[in-house]
Amino acid sequence: MLDGIHDGLLYPTDEERATLRRIPDKIPWNAYLIAIVELAERFSFYGSSVVFTNFIQQPLPPGSHTGAAGLNGQPGALNMGQRASTGLTTFYQFWCYVTPLLGAYIADTYWGRFKTICVAVAIALVGHIILVIAAIPGIIDHQSAIGAFCVALIVMGFGTGLFKANISPLVAEQYRRTKLFVITTKSGEKVIVDPLLTVSRIYMYFYLFINIGALIGQISMTYAEKFVGFYLAFTLPTLVFLFCPIVLLIGRNRYIRSPPTGSVLASAFRLWRFAARGKWSLNPVKMYKNFNAPGFWENAKPSKQTAETKPAWMTFDDQWVDEVQRGVKACGVFCWFPIYWLTYNQLNNNLVSQAGEMSTHGLPNDVLSNLDPFALILLIPIFDLFFYPGLRRMGIDFTALRKITAGFMTGAAAMVWASVVQHYVYKASPCGYHASDCQAPDVSPLNVWIQTGSYILIAISEILASITGLEYAFTKAPKNMRSLVMSIFLFMSAVSAALGEAFVSLSADPLLVWNYAVMGVLSFVVGCIFWWSVKDLDAKEDELNNLAEGRFGKYDAKEGATENTKS
């Protein structure tokens, strides 16, 4: 059947599926346009948040009314200490990743992804303006700055959450092919173009754009706070953020959009509740087995119901049930991610503070965190063009779940590096195990660049775990629940931020060695348990990726039609 998307393509035989090498397709230009919106938003997000630690933790430098401290001084403003800094930045992280749940619900049910993104941009812009007000000379040196700053965090986080739930699915939806097809390369090699690899490539370069924005924003704003003041470090990201509505407006007629489909979440919940009938038990082991039994979802399919037992809300086909089952399995995978994010979150506060305890030789202490996006900008093309294709040529199937497991392990290695560095900081610091009490230039003589290993290892772990998580959320969700499943993946960062609050007591001298060591051990142990729990699911990867597309709406099983939409 002609659909305007797959017309004229040559599909592979079973033998070709088993023997031919697979490659990704070209990325559509619409995806790059959306990636530019994400670049501007991430510039503003990271450009402003990179200076939060100094803004909250450190006092105003003597004689300064902007927070600037010059070449060898330490910029600051609110003088609330490291624990308050860690607490507020962790709250902001939590808030930014809770609100995507609401953004996803609104998009999937009422507005669609594009309109929700536009509203989110407007809300976040208001938050940026309040943030600038908090840093204006005359306000920054009064207690009122704390209130304005906290309001800005809430408003910006709300807008960011609505934005994040929908921008990631929207960029991948610009690629419309869903079936494998065969082509012959210029070298004469016959290969299979795999839409799944194409989605993976889209998210690789989407993440590249994220980190270009983050790198430029973070470097420029750390120097802005150090030499001019926090008002400039918050104003410039606000100006760059204005590119978001401009690019959205320019491309509004070019984007591929999925319309909202009504109460999808309610139907999915009713389906799960219907499948769970008779499966409940006071014995948790028995109930776990019941809920994971092979026929749990099968018995809830419309085709298994009679006219008398089929409820009125069951307006979808069997294939949509399969897609929901796959989405639920994906959400089960995401439940392991909070422990991984604990290692990543050290970038935002504790590693910045660690840099302030070493010799920076004139560099702002928070500029070293830019090694993470810088490493990602270099490593993403290497992984896409050389590492992953090299594995495929060698016949190694480096599946999504295997990548995520490797991400846990490299995250653990990053924490081991940070723990060792912190140990030697304490040994070399004039203040010993209270190294944060020392002020530049009387700090540990260790060169701040020895932190490099932690940042590079975290960057590798992001490629393996974070990018793959975005891909997994998109490819495993029903089409009309992509924002919801993506928001659940993002929500794991909020859970991690909440867990991080439990470790705040370790985020101060003399316990920081234990802080990094605990994070590393947790990441390694949970990574091992994660692989043990998903290895059977990994064996079904191809089966899950090739499910037929379901239908959702007023479905007539006899005629095979629907009045609403394909999922």
Give the three-state DSSP class for 446: strand
Candidates 15, 158, 55, 128; CA nearest to 366 is 55
Q: Quick check: 360 pLDDT over 80? A: no
- Segment 390-414 shows an average pLDDT of 92
Question: What is the 3-class SS of 172-210, one letter each residue?
Answer: HHCCCCCCCEEEECCCCCEEEECHHHHHHHHHHHHHHHH
CA angle 135, 140, 141 (to 5 degrees): 165
CA angle 92, 347, 131 (to 5 degrees): 35
Per DSSP, the chain holds a count of helices (H) and strands (E) of 23, 9
pLDDT of residue 563: 44
pLDDT of residue 316: 86
pLDDT of residue 149: 93
Candidates 376, 345, 272, 463; CA nearest to 97 is 345
Q: Are residues 7 and 177 in contact, defined by beta-carbon separation less than 8 angstroms?
A: no
In tens, the pLDDT along 447-489 reads 888 888 899 999 999 999 999 999 999 988 888 888 888 999 9
In tens, the pLDDT along 262-277 reads 667 788 888 989 988 8
DSSP character at residue 508: S
Strand-pair category, 22-23 with 190-193: parallel
CA distance linking residue 297 with residue 38, whole number of Å: 37
Helix axes 371-382, 452-461, angle to 10 degrees: 50
Q: What pTM was estimated for this model as a whole?
A: 0.84
Q: Quick check: 225 pLDDT over 80? A: yes
pLDDT of residue 1: 60
pLDDT of residue 379: 95
My answer on whether omega of the bond before 510 falls inside 30° of 0, hence cis, is yes
Give the three-state DSSP class for 447: strand
Q: Are residues 158 and 127 in contact, defined by beta-carbon separation less than 8 angstroms?
A: yes
CA angle 220, 224, 229 (to 5 degrees): 160
Q: Would you put residue 188 in left (φ > 0), alpha (ψ -120 to 50) or beta? A: left
CA distance linking residue 237 with residue 239, whole number of Å: 5
Q: Give 193's strand partners.
A: 23, 181
CA distances from 217 to 90, 111, 213 (A): 20, 31, 6
Q: Quick check: 557 pLDDT over 50? A: no
Maximum pairwise Cα distance, the chain: 80
CA distances from 502 to 81, 419, 497, 499 (A): 18, 19, 9, 5
Which positions ≥6 away from 69 have C-beta within 8 Å?
61, 75, 76, 226
Q: Quick check: 561 pLDDT over 50? A: no
Q: Are residues 130 and 146 in contact, defined by beta-carbon separation less than 8 angstroms?
A: no
Candidates 20, 233, 247; CA nearest to 140 is 233
Q: In this predicted model, which residue has the larger pLDDT, 440 or 339? A: 339
DSSP character at residue 159: H
Q: What are phi and psi of 545, to 5 degrees?
A: -75, -20
Q: Quick check: 562 pLDDT over 50? A: no
Instruction: At 22, list the tokens.
Output: 């697979």
pLDDT of residue 122: 96
% of the chain beyond a pLDDT of 90: 40
CA distance linking residue 98 with residue 379, whole number of Å: 30
Instruction: At 236, list the tokens.
Output: 């410039």
- Segment 353-362 shows an average pLDDT of 76
Lowest mean pLDDT among 111-120, 266-275, 490-499, 550-559: 550-559
CA distance linking residue 106 with residue 321, whole number of Å: 22
Q: Give 316's strand partners.
A: 552
Q: Are residues 321 and 297 in contact, defined by beta-carbon separation less than 8 angstroms?
A: yes
In tens, the pLDDT along 380-397 reads 999 999 999 999 888 888
